[in-house]
């Protein structure tokens, strides 16, 4: 499905209106992942920038939320009529925190190893070894 060339609205507005209607009709539900800007560009026959502008409009309205590396998702409607982000269960959140702690530990270990290979002290070790200065 492409854009309506007889429509007076700008292409990004047509895309935003189409996605808005899909959200309001329930075809796109809270938590659903939206297509990438490349996929939207292909669907509507527009450039990536045009698709990005449509998504920006929906984000500003609070209908969708984007996370770097995860994608763009439909938000839960809030009490004020605006959307709110879907929340993870406490168990999922705890699991995510544990995963991040493990990843941080591995990263810090790699950094310590690299600093050691170049003969430099790891910055956290420097801070720990130096006496604390008192601020005046």
Distance CA 136, CA 79 (A): 49
Indicate the SS3 state at residue 64: strand
- pLDDT digits 0-9 by tens, 69-95: 889 999 987 644 555 445 556 666 777
| The predicted structure's pLDDT at residue 87 | 52
pTM for this one? 0.57
Q: Which long-range contacts (CB under 8 A, 24 or more apart) does 19-25 make?
A: 19/54, 19/55, 19/58, 19/63, 19/64, 20/58, 20/61, 20/63, 23/63, 23/64, 23/74
Running DSSP on this structure, what letter comes out for residue 36? P
Hey, what CATH class is 11-84 in? mainly alpha
Query: For 93-132, what is each residue's pLDDT tens digit?
Result: 777 777 777 777 888 888 888 888 898 888 875 555 556 6
9 closest CA partner among 48, 46, 60, 61: 46
Nearest to 31, CA basis, from 74, 78, 77, 90: 74
Q: What is the structure's pLDDT at 92?
A: 65
- Name the residue among 135, 111, 106 with its Cα closest to residue 123: 111
**What pLDDT score was predicted for residue 135?**
57
> How do residues 7-50 score in pLDDT, each as one tens digit?
899 999 999 999 999 999 999 999 999 999 999 999 999 999 99
CA 4, CA 13: separation in Å to the nearest integer? 11
- Listed by start position, the domains of the chain span 11-84, 90-129
* pLDDT score for 79: 43
What are φ and ψ of residue 74, in 5° steps?
-75, 135
Q: What is the CB neighbour count within 10 angstroms for residue 119?
A: 6
């Amino acid at each position: 499905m492409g854009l309506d060339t007889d429509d007076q609205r700008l292409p990004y507005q047509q895309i935003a209106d189409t996605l808005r209607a899909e959200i309001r009709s329930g075809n796109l539900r809270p938590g659903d992942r939206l297509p990438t800007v490349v996929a939207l560009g292909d669907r509507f026959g527009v450039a990536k920038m045009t698709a990005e502008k449509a998504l920006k409009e929906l984000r500003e309205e609070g209908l969708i939320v984007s996370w770097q590396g995860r994608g763009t998702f439909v938000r839960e409607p809030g009490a004020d009529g605006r959307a709110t982000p879907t929340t993870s269960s406490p168990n999922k959140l705890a699991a995510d925190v544990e995963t991040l702690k493990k990843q941080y530990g591995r990263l810090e270990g790699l950094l310590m190893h690299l600093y050691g290979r170049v003969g430099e002290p790891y910055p956290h070790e420097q801070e720990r070894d130096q006496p604390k200065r008192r601020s005046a």
